[in-house]
Amino acid sequence: MSDRSSDLGVDRVLEALAAGQFSAAIFLPLDVLVTINFTAIGVTRPDQARAELQRFLKTMAAWLNERRLPVVWIAAIERGTGGILHAHIAVHVPGVVKNGDRIEGVRYRTQFRKWAREAMARHVGQVIPRLVNIRCGLQQSEIAHWLCVTYLLKGFDRTAVLAPPSASGDGEAVALADIMPFPYRSAGDVEGRRLFISGNLGPARRKIGMPSGFEYMLPTKPDMLALEVVPGANIGVAARPPSRVPSPFVAAVESGRFDVRAIYGEAFVRFVTGTQPARDAADRSVITLEQLIEHLDSLGI
């Protein structure tokens, strides 16, 4: 057992990693990190924070739905420095594509940043500095995806064991800490549930292989029972469109594969080990784990 009630148990961490793997596999990186300071609006209890988070997620889903964008996210509630209650949300908002000196695509991220701040200002009836902070580049990044997702999991159970020595290749037990790119950091005292995952990334949608409303992107196969013979034709003609075939996704952690390359991919592992730097699409500066922590710490939460 963990020595902190707010630490995330192994099941919750693996659930989030499975959701993160699925999101990355279908090219919907959760690389936009939203931070909301609940204490700034007088919220001091975790149950109040959960209600405020759910309200924001509901309005965010409406914003995404209006633009026919998938609703995929992972969120966590924490209590930071000075007891400040806040939430981090790793969400997918499409980025732009850089083609030479040209930026192509809809600037959804610019729109989202403006919407989030205005939505919270309307909710509380005033503009509060640093109430909402959004960290992202203009372009999508799988490395930033895993930075955001695993940052939400930094308060994991340090005592959890994933596999006994007999199941590992080197005779050593595999601990949850062994597969986490961030070192353990307490998420503060938050009673009750504090990690939330959108239904579109849950087990039901992973069995189908696509978020709700995006089944048209699944592979197709001919429906042989729907073929009808047309006089004079050499072959049958389909009476209805081909059916969509579910493409089940099984995450590495769900199948007991705790190899970090299988979980995060080669690029992120090289980034964490320092053998491959990454650049922020917004300011072209090199991103490191330490810089992300420093940026979030600078918010005072």
Dihedral (CA of 116, 119, 120, 121) sign:
positive
For residue 206, name the pLDDT band (cuts at 50, 70, 90).
very high
CA distance 211 to 204: 10
Task: Provide the residue type at 255 as one letter.
Answer: S
Higher pLDDT, 81 or 115: 115
pLDDT of residue 273: 83
pLDDT of residue 136: 87
Averaged pLDDT of the chain: 86
CA 257 to chain centre: 20
Backbone angles phi, psi at 244, to 5 degrees: -85, 140
pLDDT of residue 168: 61
pLDDT in tens, 113-169: 999 999 999 999 999 988 999 988 888 999 899 999 999 999 999 999 998 876 666
Tell how strand 73-79 and strand 132-135 pair up: unpaired
CA distance 229 to 104: 47
CA distance 168 to 245: 36
State yes or no: pLDDT of 91 exceeds 70: yes
CA distance 61 to 151: 22
pLDDT of residue 81: 79
pLDDT in tens, 232-247: 555 555 555 667 888 9
**Predicted TM-score (pTM) of this structure:** 0.86
pLDDT in tens, 35-69: 999 999 999 999 999 999 999 999 999 999 999 99
pLDDT of residue 94: 96
The listed range with the strongest mean pLDDT (88-102, 131-145, 195-209) is: 195-209
pLDDT of residue 80: 87
DSSP assigned state of 202: S
CA 172 to chain centre: 30
Per-position b or e across 255-273, b if 16+ CB within 10 A of its CB: eeebebebbbbeebbbbbe
For residue 219, name the pLDDT band (cuts at 50, 70, 90).
confident
State yes or no: pLDDT of 1 exceeds 60: no
% the chain with pLDDT above 90: 62
